Chains A and B, each alone.
Chain A
Amino acid sequence: MTDLEIPPPVAPETRHHDLRARGLTLGYGGVDIVHSLDLDVPDGKVTVIVGANGCGKSTLLRGLVRLLKPRAGTVELDGRPLKDWNSTEIARIMGLLPQNPVAPDGITVADLVGRGRYPHQGWFRRWSAEDDEAVEVALAATHTTELADRTLAELSGGQRQRVWIAMVLAQDTDLVLLDEPTTFLDISHQVDLLDLLDELNTAHGKTVVMVLHDLNLACRYAQHIVAMKEGHIIAQGSPTEIITAEVVHEVFGLPCQVVPDPVTGTPLVVPLGRHRP
């Protein structure tokens, strides 16, 4: 792999942050989905939340970035509950890529990425050289510079997802949260995207928290895995420690064998299935 010249992030040193949930209960309508959950997001690492459909992993992510108000308990950023923060201040520390982001018709890549600068602009201050630079860095880091003038609709799924990540990067936050960023991508683009996120962590020092479906990719890219079931955390820790056949069976109800990944040595989950033993 050739060396890519990745420009340094706009803010030279990434500040350290402490994001944690205490007794966090979240839900929609009358139903609680996440129950009294404690979580410390490890600073400077890639954390992946895994679990079966409907286990509350996306809900938890939404709660961590204040898209959902806690029913009980708190989410604290640097020791202060999120509700005590100014929303712009949070937006300069935590960025989010939602599961199905929407963009206006006909928007160009450069314009969309530029909108990530929102929390850095005041009511009257419009656009500065700093904004230009942040957009440029974000495009370069996601290898989308040459797409800048295209419209979003013209792009392939993989390119579009990179552009959305560029928008979150232009926001220039120390924490980046992503809700199933690889959905709708084929395997090759999934790996591309996760490599990119890994790069953001290692080269740019960002703390990454994401929800992923694919356990094997999660094991490969996560430094910290949070396994959830029915709104509770069943196990968390480094993939090698916690992803065992027992845990996978408990979390997903899937009989399997766990073997070392021939490439990275991380756990590789091989499902047994019912009919082909």
Chain B
Amino acid sequence: MAVIERDPAPPTSAAPGAHSVIVRARLLRRSRTVGVTLVLAAIAFALFVGTMMIGSFTVTPWQVVRATFGFESDGGINYVVRDLRLPTAATALAVGLAMGLSGIIFQRLLSNPLASPDFVGVSSGASFFAVGSIVMLNFQGELVSVAALVGALLAALLVYVLAWRDGITGYRFILIGIGVSQFFLAGSGYVLSRADVYNAREAMTWLVGAVGQAGDTELRVLLVSLAVVLPVVFVLSRQLSALELGDDTAKALGARVELMRVSLMLTAVVLIALATATAGPMAFVALIAGPIAARLVGSGSSALLAAAFVGAIIVLTADLVAQHALPSQLPTGVITGAIGAPYLIWLLVSVNREGRGG
């Protein structure tokens, strides 16, 4: 009987210097992530300063920076920068950061590019409660933020509970999220139809999203919570890289899967809720920031911070376009919607083509 010897496995492993190659590749990946993130941060800062320069009265970048940080002595410039333009610019920056971060956390947690909080009902829950509190309860200021936060948490809880079946899968979560989203949108529509003209106008902001009308209190709440949540997110990002491997592998690696998933989702929900409470839903920012950032920093790197900056860049740019580039001023959300909708269509088509709908 003929015995055919199997080919020996190629002796490629443990080649001399293999160690340094792997370490070098890892360092290279990390320096790309750091480099890209720094460039994105610089662009976001440039746009932040840029939006405060332009207008009926032009200010130099240096004056903007000095006035922003309180070193400008000229009262006129101080007034234009600090009182007129800084609130809008700071809102755009903070809302963009929060939405970008929230979006990528959802997307990575549910392993699906469609799973952004504005897609799965969290934003619309926040909108519905904000609109409802304005129209039905005459809420103002921080009470609207609180209502939006409650709405977002309730929406997230509802989706989580309905989608939970021995764990969470991205596909089921998204489908149920879309249903919940429609439910809250319908609710917002109903509430608006019952509102008087003045309230309806104010509540309209909550359906489209605009950085211009943000109240001081909401902005301050958002800035403080960003300062609190950002460090938490970076501590939790290690958990995210285990959870991404699926519940079984994550558990086998020793991660406390349910606890960590709920914590991460909670931080993401708080971020999107406060951002929505400040500037309205702002279509598609959370959806597109993450994938863009991931593409820029390269595969397998933590794109969390990069996604936050991409979010800020999108909102700041949309605000610039909405305020200055068009014949009449538009709400910021209209511009982000116009950028985001084609992306969404492309995403749906390409996801479908690759046959990984879930």
Contact = CB atoms under 8 A, between A and B. Distances in A.
Q: Are A and B genuine complex partners? A: yes
Given A110-B25, A123-B238, A139-B13, A87 B256 contact: yes
B22 A145 contact: yes
B18 A140 contact: yes
Given A111-B300, A115-B241, A136 B22 contact: yes
A115 B18 contact: no
Interface in B212-267: 235, 238, 241-242, 244-246, 248-249, 251-256
B245 A115 contact: yes
Q: Which 5 A-B pairs have CB atoms at the shortest separation, nearest pair first?
A: A91-B254, A111-B300, A106-B299, A96-B252, A98-B248
Interface of B: 1, 3, 6, 8-15, 18-19, 21-23, 25-26, 29, 108, 111, 166, 235, 238, 241-242, 244-246, 248-249, 251-256, 294, 299-301
B22 A143 contact: no
Contacts, number: 138
Nearest to A141: B13
B15 A145 contact: yes
A110 B251 CA distance: 21
Interface in A80-133: 87-92, 94-96, 98, 101-108, 110-112, 114-116, 118-119, 121, 123-124, 126-127, 132-133
Contacts of B256: 87
Given A2-B8, A118-B255, A145 B108 contact: no
A42 B316 CA distance: 63
Contact of B251 (A67, A107, A139): A67
A180 to B, nearest CB: 13
B246 A116 contact: no
28 contacts: A2-B11, A4-B9, A4-B11, A6-B14, A7-B14, A65-B251, A65-B252, A67-B252, A87-B251, A91-B252, A98-B252, A101-B248, A102-B249, A105-B111, A106-B294, A107-B300, A108-B299, A110-B26, A115-B253, A119-B253, A119-B254, A123-B235, A132-B19, A140-B13, A143-B10, A148-B22, A151-B300, A191-B6
B59 to A, nearest CB: 42
A162 to B, nearest CB: 10
Contact of A96 (B15, B18, B249): B249
A119 B256 CA distance: 11
Contact of B111 (A104, A115, A141): A104
A209 interface: no
Contacts of A87: 251, 254-256
A121 to B, nearest CB: 7
A4 B13 contact: yes
Contacts of B1: 262
Given A90-B254, A149-B25, A115 B242 contact: yes
Q: Majority SS of interface residues in chain B?
A: loop
Contacts of A96: 248-249, 252
Given A98-B252, A118-B253, A123-B238, 4 more contacts: A87-B256, A101-B245, A105-B299, A263-B3
B349 to A, nearest CB: 16
A25 to B, nearest CB: 18
Interface residues of A, number: 63
Given A2-B8, A119-B253, A132 B235 contact: no
B173 to A, nearest CB: 15
A94 B252 CA distance: 8
Interface in A57-80: 62, 65-67
Interface of A: 1-2, 4-7, 28, 62, 65-67, 87-92, 94-96, 98, 101-108, 110-112, 114-116, 118-119, 121, 123-124, 126-127, 132-133, 135-136, 139-146, 148-149, 151, 171, 188, 191-192, 262-263
B235 A98 contact: no
A1 B7 CA distance: 8
A145 B3 CA distance: 31
Nearest to B12: A146
Contact of B244 (A4, A104, A135): A104
Contacts of A145: 12-15, 18, 22
A110 B22 contact: yes
Contacts of A136: 18-19, 22
A108 B19 CA distance: 17
Contact of B108 (A104, A111, A148): A104
Given A2-B11, A90-B254, A28 B245 contact: no
Contact of A66 (B3, B242, B251): B251
B75 to A, nearest CB: 46
Contacts of B108: 104
Nearest to A149: B25
Contacts of B252: 65, 67, 91, 94-96, 98
User: Which of A2, A105, A127 has the most C-beta atoms of chain B within 10 angstroms of its own C-beta?
Assistant: A105
User: Which of B9, B21, B253 has the most C-beta atoms of chain A within 10 angstroms of its own C-beta?
Assistant: B253
B166 A28 contact: yes
